[in-house]
Amino acid sequence: MRVKGGAYNKAKGEVKDQLGKFKDDKGKQAEGKKDKIKGDAQDATGEAKKNDN
């Protein structure tokens, strides 16, 4: 099974963000937030391509 769009990066980012909060690791939290933003951008790009066709 393949996860589509930015869902994978958003999920990965959420895990890193929560792990960073739990371990009080600001670097891991920042990585998680970056991954979530990347996932949002991938979703937006996918929607734009879908609407363009």
Asked if residue 37 belongs to a domain, the reply is yes
How many domains in the chain? 1
Helical segments of 1-53, H only: 7-23, 26-52
Asked if residue 22 belongs to a domain, the reply is yes
Give the whole-angstrom CA distance, residue 52 versus residue 31: 31
Asked if residue 53 belongs to a domain, the reply is no
The whole-number pLDDT of residue 27 equals: 97
pTM: 0.81
* pLDDT, tens digit, 9 for 90 and up, residues 1-37: 566 778 999 999 999 999 999 999 999 999 999 999 9
Length of the chain: 53
Asked if residue 1 belongs to a domain, the reply is no
| Residue 27: domain span | 7-48
